[in-house]
Amino acid sequence: MRKVVIIAPTYNEKGSIEHLIEEIFDQQKKVTNWEINILVVDSHSTDGTAEAVKKLQKKHSGLFLMETEKEGLGKAYLRGFNYCEEKLSPYLIIQIDADGQHDPKKIPDFIKKIEDGADFVIGTRYSKGGSIPKNWGFHRKILSIGANIFVRIGFMKPGVTEWTNGFRAMKSWVVKGSLEHIKNFSGYVFQIAMIDYALKHNAKIAEIPVDFKERKFGISKINAFQYSSQTVFYVLNHSSFIKYIFVGLSGFVIDFGISYVGIEKAHMIVWVATVISSETAIVSNFLLNNFWSFSHKKLEGKFNFLVSFLKFNLVSSGSVVIQAAGIQLFVFLFGRKLWYLYKVLIILLVIIPYSYILYNKFIWKNK
């Protein structure tokens, strides 16, 4: 028998918590080889949520309550995860909103995916079969859809369609491992941080479509401004792809700067200045990518470092050849007047994806 703890965070959810708890325990009959426990993490609700839970504790021995300060959803979950690891030692942890927006009947589907081999199952509203409330206003739709698209592109993970929903199942090792990382994010953004952590540690991710129902009781506690700014900040800070783009730009500045000084000021032979400037940019790009963009996959061992540096040079030479051939082709077809436009297009559409994919496949491989 494996143990699953379902964590439901609450702040003033008296209207829905009792029904939610009963419905969750009701799923037990569908997952007979699992022992369902519930942990409610309540941030001192003022509407009697905790009291309602305490009443139900008399009936259900697998119902736990943790009372915490009101410090944001991320902090509430962090405390809940710690409580789980210290006191309950589950195999699996499932997160669910306590306001009735997530349907507990989906819990067996999450468990099934775990049984099929996933480490982390995301309940997604943004793939076929999932949905968001029809009555959501324009700004709420934009906030949710926009945040998810932004994160998907920012992390170059189009396959993960949902980053912000709080309905998910995670094996204990993923949660335990992520605690050090997510403790820095007290708000809703910790949901994104957990998926980011899981992906960077090669957790097997699966998705199931879920509906996000309308709230029947109480009000949403999300702070739109804080949430969107934290999301943007998180992605800028943690996306290998975005850092890689910045490294590329810095390489351009170094290359151009050294060439300029060499040719204009030091009156060096042009090709010599070019070799020095481009190789300096290559070295600097390699180091910055290793210690910054792909720092979670940092190269280990001197030999590996050296071989990877040679591969990096090879990939860089490849992009020179692609650029030269591409631009020549455009010039041949459309004349040379707009050569700089062709160059920009080739860099954006070919060179950036080409290098990023090769770096990930051959140099900074997943560990």
**Which residues contact ligand GDP by CB under 6 A?**
9-11, 13, 41-43, 70, 72-73, 76, 97-99, 101, 166, 220-222
Is residue 99 near Mg ion by the rule CB under 5 A?
yes
9 binds, among ligand GDP, Mg ion, none (CB under 5 to 8 A by kind): ligand GDP
Let me know how long the chain is.
367
Token pair of 200 as six digits: 């960077």
Amino acid at 288: L
d(CA 193, CA 178): 9
Is residue 101 near Mg ion by the rule CB under 5 A?
yes
Whole-number Cα distances in Å, 233 to 146, 292, 317, 320: 15, 16, 34, 33
Nearest distance in Å: CB 186, ligand GDP: 9
Q: Which residue is nearest to ligand GDP (CB)?
A: 220
Q: Rank residues 10 and 172 by Cβ distance to ligand GDP and give the closer one.
A: 10
Q: Strand 168-171 relative to strand 2-10: parallel, antiparallel, unpaired?
A: unpaired
| Contact assessment for residue 123 and residue 33, using Cβ atoms and an 8 Å cutoff | no
Is residue 12 near Mg ion by the rule CB under 5 A?
no
Residue span 56-95 as binding mask against Mg ion, x where in contact by CB under 5 A, dash where not: ----------------------------------------
Q: Rank residues 98 and 160 by Cβ distance to ligand GDP and give the closer one.
A: 98
d(CA 344, CA 351): 10
| Contact assessment for residue 191 and residue 162, using Cβ atoms and an 8 Å cutoff | no
Nearest distance in Å: CB 167, Mg ion: 10
Nearest distance in Å: CB 34, ligand GDP: 23
With the CA atoms of 210, 50, 74 and 19 taken in that order, what torsion angle do they form, in degrees rounded to the nearest 10?
0
Whole-number Cα distances in Å, 353 to 26, 200, 202, 253, 346: 49, 19, 22, 20, 10
Burial class (CB in 10 A: 0-12, 13-18, 19+), 253: exposed
Nearest distance in Å: CB 13, Mg ion: 9
Nearest distance in Å: CB 361, ligand GDP: 37
196 binds, among Mg ion, ligand GDP, none (CB under 5 to 8 A by kind): none
119 binds, among ligand GDP, Mg ion, none (CB under 5 to 8 A by kind): none
Which range in 100-108, 129-137, 246-254, 358-366 contacts Mg ion by CB under 5 A? 100-108
d(CA 74, CA 88): 20
Nearest distance in Å: CB 113, Mg ion: 23
Q: Rank residues 43 and 293 by Cβ distance to ligand GDP and give the closer one.
A: 43
Q: Given the rule CB under 5 A, which residues bind Mg ion? A: 97, 99, 101
